[in-house]
Amino acid sequence: MFLFWRFPWLLLGLACAAAVSGAGWYLWTAHRRERQGDLAWRHQDHRMALERSMAVIDDMTWQEFERYVAELCRRDGCTEVSVVGGSGDLAADVVGNLPDARRLVVQVKHYAPHRVVPSGDMQKFVGMSFAEHKADVAVFVATCEFSRSARDLALKHNIVALNRNLFGSWNSGAPLMSLLPLSGAGGGPPQRRNTHRKRGRQGTA
């Protein structure tokens, strides 16, 4: 206390330092609260944007949805992508080549969110994707869930089944190649295309 009486500037300096420190703490905590609020707002806005985009997709016709899936394939580097769905499509709606040149065959079902893909739909795709369309990778895309029997068939026959949630990830920017391992066997037989070519060469020799 004697020092403060003898050196009043010391007391003034300590008071100023305390004031500056308090102001700094207040500004830092205010900035932190604002940043946390901004991150929460951004997360909420991102979630709402995804919900809005899925709502737009739900409003598409099945033809529009097939074309949209084809565009997602092109976005992720697939080549020679074409929409082949329609009468007599033999359970294939979109075909093309993955970035690594494997042949991609996609079945698309634009069902209401509350529905499930039945086993019969999966059976048709299993029967046609590899034997008829010579798929290296077969992908079944749906805007709903798959029935348990349909999922079991997909796992058994190396079909990549993208349900509503996985399609939502694809729609929001996840590359198709990153989603392939998440369902079924994922990549399909990686050397299948080369095997076809070798057999073809052997047959012509």
By CB atoms closer than 10 A (0-12, 13-18, 19+), residue 126 is: buried
Q: What is the pLDDT of residues 3-44, one digit of tens each?
A: 445 555 555 555 555 555 555 565 666 566 666 665 666 666
Does 151 have pLDDT greater than 70? Answer: yes
| Whether the predicted pLDDT of 99 surpasses 60 | yes
pLDDT score, position 53: 86
Checking if the pLDDT of 135 tops 70, the result is: yes
Per the CB < 8 A criterion, the answer to whether 60 and 110 are in contact is yes
Tokens of 4: 């403060």
Beta strands in the chain (DSSP E): 79-83, 94-97, 103-109, 116-117, 137-142, 145-146, 159-162
pLDDT for the residue numbered 30: 58
User: What is the per-residue pLDDT across 37-80, written as a single tens digit (0 to 9) for each?
Assistant: 656 666 665 555 555 688 999 999 999 999 999 999 999 999 99
With pLDDT > 70 as the criterion, what percentage of the chain qualifies?
62
Please tell me the predicted confidence (pLDDT) of residue 85. Answer: 73
Quote the pLDDT of residue 36.
65
Query: What average pLDDT does this structure show over 81-94?
Result: 84
The DSSP symbol for 118 reads -
- pLDDT value of residue 144: 96
Q: How far is CA 104 from CA 18, 46, 47, 112, 143, in A?
A: 68, 30, 30, 25, 19
Tell me what pLDDT residue 91 has. 82
Find the mean pLDDT for residues 136-160. 95
